[in-house]
């Protein structure tokens, strides 16, 4: 039996995340039989809503999943609403009464998942109240799921962690990085550790460089207020990108278990070179989009977006080079770049292999009368919007004479497979029900990522750049291309 038993208490139950991601994901789990009879959801937020209104909203959020009327009714009947101000102790007493009632009514065995779908400044007060108002029980489990951002630098993350750890042990804290729930991010481990052809070459003897691109074609949309205080470095690099670097760079774990994988990821992050501020400026560049156009569409500059300061110094683009000082990776640059309003949306990883020691075909002439260069073998892992991987090899061009030509072996999941695969939040919610923290960020990982990123931020805060420095619809500032050019590389970018 697959049924999971728990009471979810969602703080921020009227918010965007709850409506767009959490309720549809819970419904998918319901439909698949992971949630059946023994579950209930309390949504809390400041507004005064009735249970009926809340259930109507929940049904609205799952409309696109085409439930039958009976299914939608039955699912939403498990949802209860409690108006709640997170700073008011009395409200937690009311919450406790409702929790206890639902616990008995649905026979939940005291299993609790507290999901904080709210701004991080509330995390501390919520967890303190959960303890002081005795909402946490000794029966079943008490797990805490929290959203990014986890702090805004190492010091604030440390402080937040102390507050949370005073109430929840690390094993019960599930820090969401939704990229870790994505199919192809999880596939990195399969590609590496289930294929000897790759793992035997996964080191500085065979790999020239690694390129990680998280490109967004959208601008800042309606998130200007948040984003202008964050920027691409904190919003993308500190969490998602460094998690990907860790998965690519870690040593093979002795078993595919949470503790083993986590230990290897932490070691990989610890091996990333901590730059001096001078080195940070040399190895990391920032950008901000100005106005631009693409495919006849015109885009305004970042500084003209809603809720963005007219003289904003916030970066909407980052490119950089990480160096990993261990036996496996010494000398192999890990280039990363991420940005908004780029030419296309695409998250992908390129593993660029070294050339053969001698190019015996160097004197061959191609159709245009040019000498042929051997392009490097590249393994690409496509994370979104398409999912799959490809490998470029060199073969012989059909015909007389002997000319080499690149051949691409390309595998992508079909749209149908991708459409049917569990959404990241669905996977992560199920993991939290199973108590499996493999695909969440451990404090040691978060802490080390902040140490790496803080230096870059400090270096940038002491210097200024002339923003905007790339046109909306382009692939970022020239300096992002120069970063690789000076090392003799280029970004490999083929959809």
Residues of the shown chain interacting with ligand NAD in the complex, contacts defined by CB under 6 A = 12-17, 20, 45-46, 84-86, 117-120, 147-148
Which residues, in sequence order, are CB contacts of 403 under 8 Å at separation 6+?
361, 364, 365, 366, 367, 372, 396, 397
Name the residue with tokens 């270096």: 459
Name the residue with tokens 């230096």: 455
* Shortest distance (Å) from residue 46 CB to ligand NAD: 4
Contact 415, 432 (CB under 8 A): no
SS3 166: coil
Q: Which is nearer to ligand NAD, 236 or 352 (CB)?
A: 236
Name the residue with tokens 């805490």: 144
Instruction: Give, as one character, the DSSP assignment of residue 365.
Output: B
* Shortest distance (Å) from residue 148 CB to ligand NAD: 5
- Report d(CA 458, CA 274) in Å as an integer: 13
- Report d(CA 422, CA 136) in Å as an integer: 30
* Shortest distance (Å) from residue 207 CB to ligand NAD: 32
One-character DSSP codes across 329-364: TTT--EEEEEESSBSS-EEEEEEEEPPPSS-TTTT-
Within 10 Å of residue 229's Cβ, how many Cβ atoms? 14
- Report d(CA 409, CA 394) in Å as an integer: 11
* Shortest distance (Å) from residue 335 CB to ligand NAD: 25
Q: Which is nearer to ligand NAD, 176 or 352 (CB)?
A: 176
Q: Any catalytic annotation for residue 240?
A: yes
SS3 391: strand
- Report d(CA 273, CA 18) in Å as an integer: 38
Q: Which is nearer to ligand NAD, 160 or 324 (CB)?
A: 160
Nearest residue (beta carbon) to ligand NAD: 15
Residue of 78, 112, 240, 442 with catalytic role: 240
Q: Which is nearer to ligand NAD, 78 or 175 (CB)?
A: 175
* Shortest distance (Å) from residue 258 CB to ligand NAD: 22
Question: CA 194 → CA 191, 252, 271, 383, 390, distances in Å?
Answer: 6, 11, 24, 18, 16
* Shortest distance (Å) from residue 345 CB to ligand NAD: 16
Per-residue tokens: 322: 């990480």
Q: Which is nearer to ligand NAD, 43 or 320 (CB)?
A: 43
Q: Which is nearer to ligand NAD, 20 or 362 (CB)?
A: 20
Active site residues per annotation: 240
């Amino acid at each position: 039996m697959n049924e999971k038993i728990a009471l979810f208490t969602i703080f921020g139950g009227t918010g965007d995340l709850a409506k767009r991601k959490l309720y549809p994901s819970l419904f998918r789990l319901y439909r698949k039989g992971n949630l059946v009879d023994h579950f209930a959801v309390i949504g809390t937020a400041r507004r005064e809503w009735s249970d009926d209104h809340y259930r109507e909203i929940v049904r609205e959020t799952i409309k696109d999943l085409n439930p039958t009327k009976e299914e939608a009714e039955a699912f939403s009947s498990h949802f209860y609403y409690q108006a709640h101000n997170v700073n008011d102790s009395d409200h937690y007493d009311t919450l406790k009464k409702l929790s206890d009632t639902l616990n008995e009514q649905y026979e939940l065995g005291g299993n609790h998942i507290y999901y904080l779908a709210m701004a991080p400044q509330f995390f501390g007060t919520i967890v303190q109240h959960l303890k002081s108002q005795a909402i946490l029980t000794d029966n079943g489990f008490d797990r805490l799921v929290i959203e990014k951002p986890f702090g805004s630098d190492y010091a604030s993350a440390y402080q937040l962690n102390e507050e949370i750890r005073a109430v929840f042990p690390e094993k019960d804290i599930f820090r969401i990085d939704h990229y870790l729930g994505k199919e192809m991010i999880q596939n990195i481990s399969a590609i590496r550790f289930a294929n000897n052809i790759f793992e035997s070459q996964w080191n500085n003897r065979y790999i020239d460089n690694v390129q990680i691109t998280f490109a967004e074609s959208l601008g800042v949309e309606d998130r200007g207020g948040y984003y202008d205080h964050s920027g691409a470095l904190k919003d993308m690099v500190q969490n998602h990108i460094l998690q990907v670097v860790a998965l690519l760079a870690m040593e093979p774990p002795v078993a595919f278990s949470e503790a083993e994988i986590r230990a290897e990821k932490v070691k990989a992050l610890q091996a990333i070179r901590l730059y001096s501020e001078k080195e940070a400026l040399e190895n990391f560049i920032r950008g901000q989009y100005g106005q631009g156009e693409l495919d006849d569409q015109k885009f305004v500059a970042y500084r003209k977006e809603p809720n963005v300061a007219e003289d904003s110094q916030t970066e909407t683009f980052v490119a950089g080079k990480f160096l990993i000082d261990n036996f496996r990776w010494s000398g192999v640059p890990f280039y990363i770049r991420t940005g908004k309003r780029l030419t296309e949306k695409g998250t992908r990883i390129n593993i660029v292999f070294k050339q053969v020691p001698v190019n015996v075909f160097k004197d061959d002439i191609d159709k245009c009368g040019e000498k042929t260069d051997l392009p490097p073998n590249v393994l690409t892992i496509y994370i979104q919007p398409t999912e799959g991987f490809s490998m470029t090899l060199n073969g012989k061009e059909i015909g007389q004479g002997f000319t080499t030509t690149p051949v691409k072996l390309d595998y992508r999941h079909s749209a149908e497979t991708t459409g049917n695969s569990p959404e990241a939040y669905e996977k992560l919610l199920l993991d939290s029900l199973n108590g499996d923290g493999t695909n969440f960020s451990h404090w040691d990982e978060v802490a080390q990522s902040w140490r790496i990123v803080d230096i870059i931020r400090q270096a940038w805060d002491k210097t200024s750049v002339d923003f905007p420095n790339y046109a909306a619809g382009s692939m970022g500032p020239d300096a992002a291309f120069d970063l690789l050019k000076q090392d003799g590389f280029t970004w490999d970018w083929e959809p």
